[in-house]
Amino acid sequence: MIQVQVIEALKKGIYEAKTTGKSIGFVPTMGYLHEGHMSLAKQAREDNDYVVMSIFVNPAQFGPNEDLDKYPRDLERDIKMAKDAAVDLLFFPQAHEMYPQDGGITIHAGAQANVLCGASRPGHFDGVLKVVTKLFHLVEPTRVYFGQKDAQQLAIIETLVRDYNFPLEVRRVPTVRESDGLAKSSRNVFLSEEERLQAPAIYQAIQLGIEHFKEHQNVEEAKKITTQHIEKGTSGNIDYVELLSYPDLTKDISTNTSVILAVAVFFEKARLIDNMMLNNKGE
Amino acid sequence: MIQVQVIEALKKGIYEAKTTGKSIGFVPTMGYLHEGHMSLAKQAREDNDYVVMSIFVNPAQFGPNEDLDKYPRDLERDIKMAKDAAVDLLFFPQAHEMYPQDGGITIHAGAQANVLCGASRPGHFDGVLKVVTKLFHLVEPTRVYFGQKDAQQLAIIETLVRDYNFPLEVRRVPTVRESDGLAKSSRNVFLSEEERLQAPAIYQAIQLGIEHFKEHQNVEEAKKITTQHIEKGTSGNIDYVELLSYPDLTKDISTNTSVILAVAVFFEKARLIDNMMLNNKGE
């Protein structure tokens, strides 16, 4: 595995892949890798001749009250995991390499960013759009891999790629789950023993809501069923339960052919998110 | 010359060039081609194996009070001129092909857009950034060609490419001039006979200002010399005479190693612009 920190070295590393017509799969991450990232890398490995992973804790997507410095890092372990995933090139730039200067041009997410998790993180998705645009240009991938767990991020990046004609394909990778259905997350370790036993109710609740929506197409009723199941089965406090169009993420579900049921729940020391998508309003 | 109107056909057309490792030169235009465009195409032809030209009157860069429908068009003549310039592929999409939907993600120029011509055209350069980002992704060129005459557009696009790591090179093409020094422009035909005789004073005035600045590094004095020469030599009304850093376009000329002296002058029925750049503050 090639390990590079500067753009020039990245370009050299991928030059051979590009000029020999190899397909390039790209997995952008903020490091502190877990099984979710591994499933992205595994899919990239299956689909492509050459796999690039990036590790960059992007300052542009942290708000003034969000602690960039406290974001967990473990580069040594990440390198080992990337090697295990048969990544060909690992790019882990410093911030000054990614943002050496700023001419003031900005990219802004639209209404998609004002709902779900974005509602409480103003500017967060603008920072995501900035870094993925830069990374996509640097790596020039054939395919990029994002997890369905971060559904809002996925929706916004799919919209960016579609509306700005990026010459690449976005691959959605399904959420990896524990055997009891709980979505895997590095935050699950912050759950108390009791909370951990309750947490699978979140995914059950989403499934119940989706099943009901499939049959009755009633948004409010589906949300109510999901809400009640979480309230009954856990000690957590619901941040949101939303059923929206996908990828527009509007309450007018007629704007897209897909919908998403997305949930965020606060426990004592962890906020968990999960979601399910329904394509063509019934499949 | 291949002539295409839809993205799918464009992609097919350039596929062969890409997969055989040919360099691609790209000349984006709004059509109604003149000698300025021809000099861009000529340079692209010299530098590259394959030359793509686009003709697209971009609605996104017209303000609500600017008449998109009145923008001059002559596709038949443009096609002939593109052929004469040995363009390999001409892409002239309809608006619905370029903007089939809008997920609300926007790109905004920074302070660079608030000076010179941009000061009176709010949002104009946002529209330029949108369309060039899309076109760059569609054509995936090795090199793109812009005229130095539209210096503000050039500065903003160079900043976009630098700050967002577009994998391409921006080539500045010098302003094409009449034998008496007047910058060529499709607007020159709107000058009266007398104004046409006066108009070369604009370029002379810029040269005088630049010469003075080279020697004395005095911004205000250089602007004054330029202003006075235009006022003395023409019946036009000055819109602006500015000496700014390049490409940041700020009054603090220490922020870049280049400066630009740029001028806009209103005549009876035409507004003319011209400029000169000075690299490394003295070359």
| B176 within 8 A of B184, measured Cβ to Cβ | yes
Q: Judge whether A232 is closer than 8 Å to chain B, CB to CB.
A: no
CATH superfamily of domain region A2-173:
HUPs (3.40.50.620)
Extract the runs of DSSP E, i.e. beta strands, from B148-230. Answer: 169-173
Structure tokens at A213: 């929506």
pLDDT of residue A37: 96
pLDDT of residue A257: 86
Structure tokens at A185: 């997350």
Closest CA to B13 of B51, B58, B40, B48: B51
Q: Along the 283 residues of chain A, how does pLDDT read in single tens digits? A: 999 999 999 999 999 899 899 999 999 999 999 999 999 999 999 999 999 999 999 999 999 888 888 888 999 999 999 999 999 999 999 999 999 999 999 999 999 999 999 999 999 999 999 999 999 999 999 999 999 999 999 999 999 999 999 999 999 999 999 999 999 988 899 999 999 999 999 999 999 999 999 999 999 999 999 999 999 999 999 999 999 999 999 999 988 889 999 999 999 999 999 999 998 655 5
The question of ipTM being above 0.85 is answered as yes
State the DSSP H helix or E strand holding residue A259, giving kind and residue range, or none if neither. Answer: strand A258-266
Q: How close B249 comes to chain A (CA, Å)?
A: 10
Edge-to-edge strand ranges of the sheet holding B50-55: B2-4, B89-91, B50-55, B24-29, B143-147, B169-173
CATH 1.20.1440.230, domain B188-275, yes or no = no
Higher pLDDT, A186 or B276: B276
Q: How close A188 comes to chain B (CA, Å)?
A: 33
Active site residue B108: no
A199-250 pLDDT, tens digit per residue, is 999 999 999 999 999 999 999 999 999 999 999 999 999 999 999 999 999 9
Domain extents in chain A = 2-173, 188-275
pLDDT of residue A278: 96
pLDDT of residue A282: 58
Contacts of B163 in chain A (CB under 8 A): 101-103, 105
Question: What confidence tier does B199 reach under pLDDT thresholds 50, 70, 90?
Answer: very high
pLDDT of residue B225: 98
The per-residue b/e assignment along A44-69, b for 16 or more CB within 10 angstroms, e otherwise, is bbeebebbbbbbbbbebbbeeeeeee
Is the alpha carbon torsion for B215, B219, B225, B226 positive or negative? positive
pLDDT of residue A283: 55
| A150 within 8 A of A274, measured Cβ to Cβ | no
Q: Point out the residue among B21, B103, B162 whose CB comes nearest to the CB of A162.
A: B103
**CA pair distance A64, A122, nearest whole angstrom:** 10
Place of tokens 């996509």: A136
**How many other CB atoms are there within 10 angstroms of residue B211's CB atom?**
14
B86-125 pLDDT, tens digit per residue, is 999 999 999 999 999 999 999 999 999 999 999 999 999 9
